[in-house]
Amino acid sequence: MKKSSGIDLSKSRSRNLLKRITDIIFSLILILLFLPFWILITIAIIIDSRGSIVFMQERVGRFSINFNMYKFRTMKQGTIDLPAEELVDRESKVTRVGKFLRRFSIDETLQLLNILKGDMSFVGPRPSHLGQKEQIKIRKETGTDSIRPGLTGYAVVNGRDAISIPEKADYDMAYVFNYRPFMDTLIILKTFGVVLTFRGGN
């Protein structure tokens, strides 16, 4: 794994601007479409278990700057906030409604608000948990923290949590530094397959 020599700045700016415009338009549309379902999910969470409706988790974003990422709460109140791979007996800590939300990644849909705010993009490296020190370090060293993290990403559709951090880093680099037109569209389409077949999830 080597540090990239960089990308053409003019192309990078154009790409980032186009992605940002696309993110704003489509996040607004999807938020309006999802709003009725979010209301139903809110009611279900309140009925199912005690605790907050929204889980705000500090993550590492663009240029390694931290931000609060939004999810619907799927864990029981009092669960320690750790990276998924480090949480012992994780399934027993998930609420009944949470199991359904996580199964279809519905809890992640609140990140549309992060996309609208500019914290995230639809496609990019998944934002690192503060406990994922190795991943944060690699992204700084390789420069893959130069773009907004994504709701989905190249590593997600090539193994998700079933692959190692160095493998994820290689996919991140391939996406950031070898980007091709329509790559985002292909990744989004493949993401539906990953979600529906539950591949690579912990």
pLDDT tens, position by position, for the chain (202 residues)?
A: 555 545 565 667 777 888 999 999 999 999 999 999 999 999 999 999 999 999 999 999 999 999 999 999 999 887 887 776 666 677 778 999 999 999 889 999 999 999 999 999 999 999 999 989 999 999 999 999 999 999 999 999 998 778 899 999 999 999 999 888 789 999 999 998 888 776 655 4
| 3-state secondary structure at position 75 | strand
Total domains, the chain: 1
Domain assignment of residue 202, yes or no: no
Residue 162 neighbours by CB distance under 10 Å: 11
How far apart (Å, rounded) are the C-alpha atoms in residues 155 and 161?
9
Q: Where are the beta strands (DSSP E) in 51-163?
A: 54-60, 66-72, 121-123, 128-129, 150-152
**The token pair that represents 8 in the structure block:** 């053409």
Domain carrying residue 49: 9-196
Domain assignment of residue 86, yes or no: yes
Identify the H or E element spanning 24: helix 9-48
Domain assignment of residue 4, yes or no: no
Burial tier of 94 (Cβ tally within 10 Å: 0-12, 13-18, 19+): middle
pLDDT of residue 188: 95
Domain assignment of residue 176, yes or no: yes
Q: What is the reported pTM?
A: 0.87
How far apart (Å, rounded) are the C-alpha atoms in residues 194 and 147?
23
In the β-sheet with 54-60, what is the strand arrangement from edge to edge?
A: 66-72, 54-60, 128-129
Decide if 136 contacts 64 (C-beta within 8 A): yes
pLDDT of residue 81: 77
Domain assignment of residue 3, yes or no: no
Question: Cα–Cα distances in Å, from 137 out to 48, 119, 132, 143, 169?
Answer: 39, 20, 9, 10, 10
Q: Residue 194: name the closest of 168, 149, 155, 164 by CA.
A: 155
